[in-house]
Amino acid sequence: MRKFEEKTIKTEHIFQGKVVQLQVDDVELPNGQYSKREIIKHPGAVAVIAVTPDKKIVFVEQYRKPLEKSLVEIPAGKLERNEEPLTTARRELEEETGYTTKELTLVTSFYTSPGFADELIYIYLAKDLVRLEDPPKGDEDEFVEVIELTLDEAKKYVKDERIHDAKTNYAVLYLESSGLLK
Amino acid sequence: MRKFEEKTIKTEHIFQGKVVQLQVDDVELPNGQYSKREIIKHPGAVAVIAVTPDKKIVFVEQYRKPLEKSLVEIPAGKLERNEEPLTTARRELEEETGYTTKELTLVTSFYTSPGFADELIYIYLAKDLVRLEDPPKGDEDEFVEVIELTLDEAKKYVKDERIHDAKTNYAVLYLESSGLLK
């Protein structure tokens, strides 16, 4: 759908980083007037709702520099160039949690913040987790701690805002409403 | 929680826009090594799950320049400086939909993309909507179309990815699981 399309008049490339790019587009609005749009380009991401055989949910706690605090989140990671989301999902699950699974199924996908960023995140469900004997190592500059919680514990974490991000709040609501952990 | 804290060694301010700021922080990792973090500062936002007396959900369709397409979303907007989220929520509901309500209740809040941005969004529920006779005008450079959907229609929009962003996917799942529209 291209309703209310904003035509690009000019693009100014401001920053090209390792994770994000920033550009400012001059646009022509539907009424013929002009405006500017600040746009973050992001490679996209995956996240995994991972459930153990004893019906616990696997989270990772990590420091989030933009917030200057750590959050408890479902395992996730950025897409590498030309990588299938399903491949990224399996890799991040194994690297961050030490678990693997035969089957990952897509639950949903969504843009995290469509007003200023193009980041799209794919959310998978992993049941029947099996512990890897020799899990692959993750990124050198990532420090994460694995935390396994029951659904009730996870709901308490949401209330206390230790779980406090879009994909993880969605995951907890999804598990609650699906009845999967009953 | 400050587990795995990353200490700032240096901050480079790259861009200060109308909506976002971009900075790159040099950080010291928990193992004593160094890395860089690309950080988007954002003022934060609100969104409103708005339900009419005949149990329809009120959405707005708008063009999202970062995606080069339009999405159907729950009404939302950025926080103005020093504005209470509840005030922003009422203003955005009235400007974007022409409805108001006596009571807005907080459903949840979450960071949209904590890996690179500090945007926090507050999600409110508005029931008992009343149509304003003379609704306030919104931003000059915003073009939105109001769409009212039943829950089943909204679920179809999610499936077809016309609804495809974090806050709105969350809202549809919330309304489905709460039983509010039964």
Confirm whether the ipTM is greater than 0.90. yes
A58 plus A26 within the same structural domain? no
- Examine residue A1 and state whether it is found in any structural domain, yes or no: no
A111 plus A37 within the same structural domain? no
In Å, how far is B131's CA from the nearest CA of chain A? Answer: 24
A74 plus A155 within the same structural domain? yes
Question: Measured between alpha carbons, how far is B21 from B32 in angstroms, rounded to an integer?
Answer: 28
Q: Which residues pair with A27 in a beta bridge?
A: A8, A35
- Examine residue B1 and state whether it is found in any structural domain, yes or no: no
B22 plus B98 within the same structural domain? no
Question: Considering only alpha carbons, which residue of chain B is nearest residue A35?
Answer: B141
Hey, which residues 138-177 in chain B have their CB within 8 Å of chain A?
Answer: 140-141, 143-145, 158, 161-162, 164-170, 173-174, 176-177
Q: Which residues pair with A25 in a beta bridge?
A: A11, A37
- Examine residue A129 and state whether it is found in any structural domain, yes or no: yes
Nearest to B170 by CA among B117, B100, B142, B178: B178
Residue-wise burial string across B44-63, b where 16 or more C-beta atoms lie within 10 A, e elsewhere: bbbbbbbbbeeebbbbbbbb
Position B2 pLDDT exceeds 80: no
Q: Which residues pair with A117 in a beta bridge?
A: A40
Question: Measured between alpha carbons, how far is B50 from A70 in angstroms, rounded to an integer?
Answer: 32
Give the pLDDT score at B139: 78
- Examine residue B2 and state whether it is found in any structural domain, yes or no: no
Domain that holds residue A28: 7-41
Does the CB of B29 have a partner CB in chain A at under 8 Å? yes
A20 plus A107 within the same structural domain? no
B73 plus B17 within the same structural domain? no
A60 plus A133 within the same structural domain? yes
DSSP B175: H
The catalytic position among A73, A140, A153, A176 is A140
Instruction: Classify the C-alpha dihedral B58-B60-B61-B65 as positive or negative.
Output: negative
Position B1 pLDDT exceeds 70: no
- Examine residue A61 and state whether it is found in any structural domain, yes or no: yes
Question: Measured between alpha carbons, how far is A161 from B67 in angstroms, rounded to an integer?
Answer: 30
Number of domains in chain B: 2
Q: B132-136, B149-153, B177-181 — which is least confidently predicted?
A: B132-136
CB B147 within 8 A of CB B71: no
Position B54 pLDDT exceeds 80: yes
Position B162 pLDDT exceeds 70: yes
Active site residue A140: yes
Residue-wise burial string across A44-61, b where 16 or more C-beta atoms lie within 10 A, e elsewhere: bbbbbbbbbeeebbbbbb
Hey, which residues 85-124 in chain B have their CB within 8 Å of chain A?
Answer: 108-119, 121
Give the pLDDT score at B165: 98
- Examine residue B70 and state whether it is found in any structural domain, yes or no: yes
Question: Which pTM value belongs to this model?
Answer: 0.97
Please provide the average confidence, as pLDDT, over all residues in chain B.
Answer: 95
Give the pLDDT score at B26: 98
A21 plus A76 within the same structural domain? no
Domain holding B54: CATH number? 3.90.79.10
A22 plus A61 within the same structural domain? no
A11 plus A30 within the same structural domain? yes
Give the pLDDT score at B147: 97
Name A44's Cβ contacts closer than 8 Å, sequence gap at least 6.
Answer: A78, A79, A85, A119, A120, A121, A122
Taking the CB of residue A107, how many other CB atoms lie within 10 A of it?
Answer: 16
pLDDT tens for chain A, residues 1 to 182 = 678 999 999 999 999 999 999 999 999 999 999 999 999 999 999 999 999 999 999 999 999 999 999 999 999 999 998 899 999 999 999 999 999 999 999 999 999 999 999 999 999 999 999 999 988 887 777 899 999 999 999 999 999 999 999 999 999 999 999 999 98
CB A32 within 8 A of CB A38: no
CB A86 within 8 A of CB A128: no
B75 plus B156 within the same structural domain? yes
Give the pLDDT score at A1: 65
Please report which confidence band the pLDDT of residue B17 belongs to, taking 50, 70 and 90 as the band edges: very high
Which token pair is A80? Answer: 């590498």
- Taking only the tens place, the pLDDT of each residue in B57-101 is 999 999 999 999 999 999 999 999 889 999 999 999 999 999 999
Helix axes B166-178, B151-159, angle to 10 degrees: 140
A134 plus A147 within the same structural domain? yes
What's the length of chain B? Answer: 182
Chain B partners within 8 Å of A14 (Cβ): 14-15, 22
- Examine residue A72 and state whether it is found in any structural domain, yes or no: yes
Please report which confidence band the pLDDT of residue B135 belongs to, taking 50, 70 and 90 as the band edges: confident
Question: Measured between alpha carbons, how far is A148 from B101 in angstroms, rounded to an integer?
Answer: 41
Position B182 pLDDT exceeds 90: no
CA A1 remoteness from chain centre: 25
- Examine residue B163 and state whether it is found in any structural domain, yes or no: yes
